[in-house]
A and B are shown apart, each in its own frame.
Chain A
Amino acid sequence: MYSPLEGDNWGECVIQQGHGAPSHNAPCGSTWDRVSTHFLDSIGVPIVRGRNFTEQDTAATPLVAIVNQAFVKRFYPNQDPIGQHFGIDKPQYSGSFEIVGVFKDFKINNPSRDVRPVFLRPLSQTYTGYKEPEMISTETQSMMMNAMIIGFNSPQQDVESLIRHTLAGIDPNLTVNDLRTFQAQVSGNFNQDRLVARLSSLFGVLALILASVGLYGVMSYFVARRRGEIGVRMALGATRSSVVGMVMRGAMWQILIGLLLGIPASLYAGYLMKVLLWGVDSYDPLAIAGAPLMLIICAAAAGFIPARRAASIEPMQALRTE
């Protein structure tokens, strides 16, 4: 029906064989899809228990299903799911499908949410036991293949033309609405997150530049105001390195205050934006250590330039000015 992360999916209430109708608030929902034999192979999801669909799963054989680990965790937490039966929506259909395999969890619909229970049924099998018209209609509509994932053994030239031509050869009335790589489809789910990340990075760089420029300005003003004092110190024996050290100590104090205020604030901000993060923890050690380190380096550079200028002050001229 729908390919993973296409942006749509079907869901039903699952009822295990021998169980009655679930209560109103019982978490019985599961995403489901109807797929071909090699679907999981094509998207790189392994079977972790039991078996995958095979060519032997036909309309004449018992109806089977494969489920994900989240499905097992919700509906068969302390049981071996292989060989268990379940159905959808009504207790009388609770023995419709036999679980023959368990596949590894993957995000089939919304990448920002936890993995939902998922069961897959083969395209080659149809349940004919429904009595209700809406359920019959749903079963019929589920046979309509909305998406196709095609994998090649080797790189192909002009894939789009090849696919359109091949499908037209099967049925000229087949209309290809959209053609894209699976990577592009998956990647498209993160466009907004990517934009937010890029904007955040941009703002982060701007903030770093502003902080550095601000610190440079403050330290330059500090040096200018204390020009006379620096001249006196140098006349009394201060070396150029001690003058640089004096100015840098002033800069480091400001950096330290900034870090004392900024690190807790960033940790709290990380906690607040936890849901927007992918593949990285909100308390990622590399980020928490790297950001202050980068700030220290940039701030130190911003402070060092006026410090060097201070050290190059001629005491004689500074004293004369004062």
Chain B
Amino acid sequence: MIELKNIERSYKAGHTETWVLRRVGLTIREGEFVTIMGPSGAGKSSLLNVLALLDDGWLGEYWFSNIPVHSYSRKQRADLARQRIGMVFQSYHLLDDLTVAENIDLPLSYKNLPSKERQGMVADILDRFQIVAKKDLFPSQLSGGQQQLVGIARAVVHAPDLLLADEPTGNLHSTQAREIMELFRQLNKAGTTIVQVTHSEENARYGRRIVELRDGWITRDEVLDADPAEVGSK
């Protein structure tokens, strides 16, 4: 589904150039649950931003379902991301003056869908995530776990092929974190390809594969033996 070849990313500050990704090559198959790990500053979030097409400053080749993203214009990349990629953020990034339902509807509003169809999709997601009762509440009225739940709902409402999660449980306590990771497992089981960035070894075990970054280089790419269904019992 995703193939990265010699992806490089650097930032220039004056006369200094800092490399955050160095000749990254990565293949992610459809339906995989990949965890990207590494120390702070390793380039994890940078890699995730490249995958999410939020970053245009990289070099190399990026193939998304055989689409040469590297030869796409900014607008084309944005269109592709809007259609096929969902993103979950560590800080949820819900809009405070929109209700839960409106937050979930936000990505749909940029897809030129009929209003009724959008309403139906939002209703389905609210039901699926069992947050119908909270649809008219504002983010400030929700707990951290509930907000992240809404963030995930927003990310998957348009049924993306790829779900990216940047430290999705970083601001949650352990019980909430387990609930969220269990939700990711269910989504992956249903067919969604998931790539998460995390520092948590426990969260990493929900995935099937760990890619480790250090100083912008991939230093480890390991398929886990354990079945994610067993993670919850550990």
Contact = CB atoms under 8 A, between A and B. Distances in A.
Given A229-B95, A319-B93, A239 B110 contact: yes
Contacts of B91: 322
Main secondary structure of the interface of A (DSSP, over half): helix
B111 to A, nearest CB: 7
A235 B106 contact: no
A217 B54 CA distance: 29
B110 A238 contact: yes
Given A242-B110, A316-B49, A237 B81 contact: yes
Given A229-B95, A232-B93, A232-B95, A316 B78 contact: no
Contact of B52 (A228, A229, A235, A322): A235
Nearest to B158: A237
Contacts of B81: 237
A315 interface: yes
A236 interface: yes
Interface in B150-193: 154
Nearest to B75: A239
B93 A237 contact: no
Contacts of B78: 234, 237, 239
Highest count of chain B CB atoms <10 Å: which of A236, A238, A239, A319? A236
A315 B56 CA distance: 11
Contacts of A236: 82, 87, 106-107, 110, 154
A233 interface: yes
Interface in A289-322: 315-316, 319, 322
Highest count of chain B CB atoms <10 Å: which of A228, A238, A242, A322? A238
Contacts of A315: 54
Nearest to A232: B93
Interface in B43-100: 49, 52, 54-55, 75, 78, 81-82, 87, 89, 91, 93, 95
Nearest to B48: A316
Nearest to B56: A314
Interface string A232-250: 1111111100100000000
A235 B54 contact: yes
B87 A235 contact: yes
A229 B55 CA distance: 18
A223 to B, nearest CB: 15
A236 B156 CA distance: 11
Contacts of B106: 233, 236
Contact of A316 (B55, B93, B110, B111): B55
A234 B77 CA distance: 12
A236 B103 CA distance: 10
B107 A237 contact: yes
A322 B93 contact: yes
A236 B109 CA distance: 10
Nearest to B83: A237
A316 B54 contact: yes
Highest count of chain B CB atoms <10 Å: which of A238, A316, A322? A316
Nearest to B95: A229
Nearest to A229: B95
A237 B55 contact: no
B55 A319 contact: no
Contacts of B49: 316
Nearest to A242: B110
B84 to A, nearest CB: 11
Contacts of B107: 236-237
A237 B54 contact: no
A239 B107 CA distance: 11
B89 to A, nearest CB: 7
Nearest to B154: A236
B204 to A, nearest CB: 23
A318 to B, nearest CB: 10
Query: Which 5 pairs, one residue from A and one from B, show the smallest C-beta to C-beta distance?
Result: A237-B82, A237-B110, A236-B107, A232-B93, A316-B54
Interface of A: 228-229, 232-239, 242, 315-316, 319, 322
Given A236-B107, A242-B110, 20 more contacts: A228-B93, A232-B93, A233-B106, A233-B110, A235-B52, A235-B87, A235-B93, A236-B82, A236-B106, A236-B110, A237-B78, A237-B82, A237-B107, A237-B111, A239-B110, A316-B49, A316-B54, A316-B55, A319-B93, A322-B91
16 contacts: A228-B93, A232-B95, A234-B78, A235-B52, A235-B87, A235-B93, A236-B82, A236-B106, A236-B110, A236-B154, A237-B110, A238-B110, A315-B54, A316-B55, A322-B91, A322-B93
